[in-house]
Structure 1
């Protein structure tokens, strides 16, 4: 299923090794201490790990990252649930279990912080500050740290939503995109593309981290990178506010063909927004007269006559073609079109295989079908793609990290474990 760029089968992720935490890559030598959960930050730190950073993930004893409890799930070698959200966001990391609510656990994290370039968290706004692990606390022991917060509504600017919890669909709804795409009295389509609010925030967090590291290279100073999920989604759904400001209302787009059309085996999407492209479409579907039809002389005319004129002709042309064949013909004519693929079709897609965009994570509970996790979309000509490493089991690297980084003895680790400070 996951295949490499040369067409061969992609290797399954190897075991993360405490003695060799960094797999190499452009960020080799960069170290991240991640107090994270679910997806908004873990996706960002996984991307950094895939680019070569050493990411140590701090999880609470017992349940661990709340993403482990998501469904569907598999079980790890110890019989504990490992949910889909965790599996797709934590490749290549090491896991340390520390109770941050215990002062001794907080002190362990503050002792670790100076050994890392980046300290990152995605708790509810203000939560880390109340635990004594906010930016000021970390900067006091490590002034050069890049401290990153990802939260629903941000930490550094007063907002009426500061105290609210947030998941991706919440901020997606607040961005206006749900209402823009809702029709009639139908309810909004919630999470139509998965966790856009999480992944969008993660990508902006990654950009902020890389910029802060570059700034530190020049000045020697760390800083606070504050990412709000709502800000990130508003940036990604820019058409909502931009088009409103230019006179469009209720999700209306500018006049162009941007619609789905039916072929013999399903649907494809076609975008035509320029007159020369409309002429190519007219010729391809056998309607050259469109280019001289006064009703279709403007882009608004295309939209006005989509259902009574354009759609019947386009779908009549496509009726004898599969969606893939229709898109191939449209592409050959210089028109942008793509088939609407099912989940199984995406898994088998030749582009996805060629680019190695699915990583197989073998299951540890006797199920033959491996878990498929999206691969790394960042390709760099001077940096080979590092081998993927499986997600860590809960607390798998606690002893090794605390012993290697802080010099804690076996007796000290045993005492902390006995008191529930680590696990």
Structure 2
């Protein structure tokens, strides 16, 4: 990767030092990279980010063999340079300190106290670079009785309450259920990104960097949103409703003749139109179901009646008829359906980038559509240490001989150069 400072993107010219791994931090830094920042991902020589081995599936090389690059790793590491440095070695820590002197942003997700012992904590680096924005991502934050604990997405979903709201009720054979993707990690990465952008704006006015302490647990509690505030308002602990909604009815999956579909009636007018399409005007006229509040109070009576009606037509027919009447509805797609959907293609949510191992690589696109400074897909997720030589030469002025010495000592790993 011979050049990382693309002139394109709203964050072009920003240098990000990424000491994070797994998902929350890499999600944050990938978006910074999409927006034009130069992102230097520091990885352990020989091993790299833990997620490189989290497979199968693994990317196939041009001969059809597993390359060792996992789909998990590929999901959150594009638009970055991989620099392999052993921070357990004093020379390695010095290299990272020197990079931090030049960085605008540093993102890390080590256990509380780990980087302080290595001289890579905020106070130490702030003394070298007063404008540094330093974002620490942890399971439970830098303070509080749980600060020492490790945090994993599944654990956070359970402790943070979202699993108590997800899944079918006990009487329907359900159990508390996690989301099918690492949503606690992803949302933490999003909150971290918001904090970093706010800190950059503050620095543009004052010249001062700052420290950002963000945790998976705090973020999980924050995005309980309406359910969390409903509890704080009423004192009633909400239960699991399967695919139903706590305060909107009907808003659920319903069985059609061939498969389930989604009905999302958001107001009384839409319920009237649904009943017209369904040939069930008597339900719209029933005072027990006249308003949304009535339907919520009487969901146990209404929903079984609706299910008796929806099984009389195929899902496709319901969707066609209801869309024509302006009633929100839709299919329950699997991922094959999603990535073959014409809307996904039209919105650029499936992208293909060149890759040095496989030739090309399909990834999920960015949802950010910006008229003046669009996101760019400049680099595929890098192979381990692919950019070590280029970055250390370009930013720190190391010579070829110095790199060779550091490599021979095991301080750095010099991977194969990436596509540029």
2:417 aligns with none
The match for 1:136 is: 123
Distance 1:419 1:80 in 2: 27
* Match of residue 306 from structure 1: 302
Q: Is the 8 A contact 2:259 2:314 kept in 1?
A: no
Q: 2:217 is paired with a residue of what secondary structure?
A: helix
Change in 2 beyond 3 A, CA 1:261/1:79: closer
Residue among 47, 57, 60 paired with 1:63? 47
Report the counterpart of residue 395 of structure 1 in structure 2.
385
Distance 1:410 1:126, change over 3 A: same
What pairs up with 1:363-402 in 2 under 5 angstroms? 372-402=362-392
Q: Does 1:202 align with 2:189?
A: yes
What's the offset of the Cα at 1:80?
5.6
Aligned-pair CA distance for 1:360: 3.0
- Can you list the C-alpha shifts for 1:217-259, whole angstroms capped at 9, x where unaligned? 0000000111111111222222332222233433261252221
How far is 1:142 from its partner? 0.5
Paired position in structure 2 for 1:350: 342
TM-aligned CA deviation for residue 264 of structure 1: 4.1
Deviates more, 1:229-238 or 1:214-223: 229-238
For 1:14, the equivalent position in structure 2 comes to none
| Aligned partner of 2:139 among 152, 160, 163 | 152
Describe the shift of the 1:23–1:229 C-alpha distance in structure 2 as closer, same or farther (beyond 3 A): farther
Q: Deviations over 1:35-63 (max 9, x none)?
A: 11111111111111111111011001110
Distance 2:203 2:351 in 1: 34
Q: Residue in 2 aligned with 1:267?
A: 260
Partner of 1:336: 328
Q: Deviations over 1:153-210 (max 9, x none)?
A: 112xx222111111211111112111222421644323x2301011101111111111
The 5-angstrom pairing of residues 234-313 of structure 1 reads 234-247=221-234, 248-251=236-239, 253-254=246-247, 256-297=249-290, 298-300=294-296, 302-313=298-309
User: For residue 170 of structure 1, what is the aligned residue in structure 2?
Assistant: 155
* Larger relative contact order, structure 1 or 2 (CA cutoff 8 Å, min sep 6): 1
- State the distance in 2 between where 1:387 and 1:147 align: 25
What secondary structure sits across from 1:305 in the alignment?
A: helix
Supply the distance in 2 between the matched residues of 1:402 and 1:385 (Cα, whole angstroms): 26
In the other structure, the counterpart of 2:23 is 39
CA distance in 1, matches of 2:140, 2:330: 35
- Are 1:102 and 2:89 matched, yes or no? yes
Kindly indicate whether the alpha-carbon contact (under 8 Å) linking 2:355 and 2:380 is maintained by their aligned counterparts in 1.
Answer: no
Task: Label 1:125 to 1:336 Cα distance change in 2 as closer, same or farther (>3 A).
Answer: farther
SS in 2 for 1:282: helix
**Mind listing any 5+ residue stretches in structure 2 that lack a counterpart?**
241-245, 414-420
Q: Take 2:152 and 2:73, find their aligned partners in 1: how far apart are those partners?
A: 15
CA distance in 2: counterparts of 1:219 and 1:414, whole angstroms: 41
- TM-score computed with the length of structure 2 as normaliser: 0.88
Q: Secondary structure at the match of 2:254?
A: strand
Please say if 1:406 is aligned against 2:396: yes
Partner residue of 2:11?
27
In structure 2, the CA distance between the partners of 1:408 and 1:374, relative to structure 1 (3 Å rule), is same
- Distance in structure 1 (CA, Å) of the matches to 2:225 and 2:388: 43
* 3-state secondary structure, aligned to 2:136: strand
Check if 1:54 corresponds to 2:38: yes
- Check if 1:326 corresponds to 2:311: no
The superposition leaves residues 362-392 of structure 1 with CA deviations (integer Å, 9 ceiling, x where unpaired) of 67767x9x65421111011112342442111
- Residue matched to 1:188: 176
CA distance in 2, matches of 1:265, 1:135: 58
CA–CA distance in structure 2, aligned partners of residues 411 and 327 of structure 1: 67
1:3 — aligned with what? none
Distance 1:339 1:56, change over 3 A: same
TM-score (norm 1): 0.88
- In 1: Cα distance, 2:364 partner to 2:200 partner: 26
Corresponding residue for residue 5 of structure 1: none
Query: Deviation at 1:333?
Result: 2.2
Q: Residues of 1 paired with 2:383 and 2:136: CA distance?
A: 24
**Local SS of the residue matching 2:329:** strand
Show the counterpart of 1:227.
214
CA–CA distance in 1 between the matches of 2:389 and 2:403?
Answer: 7
Q: Give the Cα separation in 1 of the matches to 2:176 and 2:353.
A: 34
Distance 2:361 2:155 in 1: 27
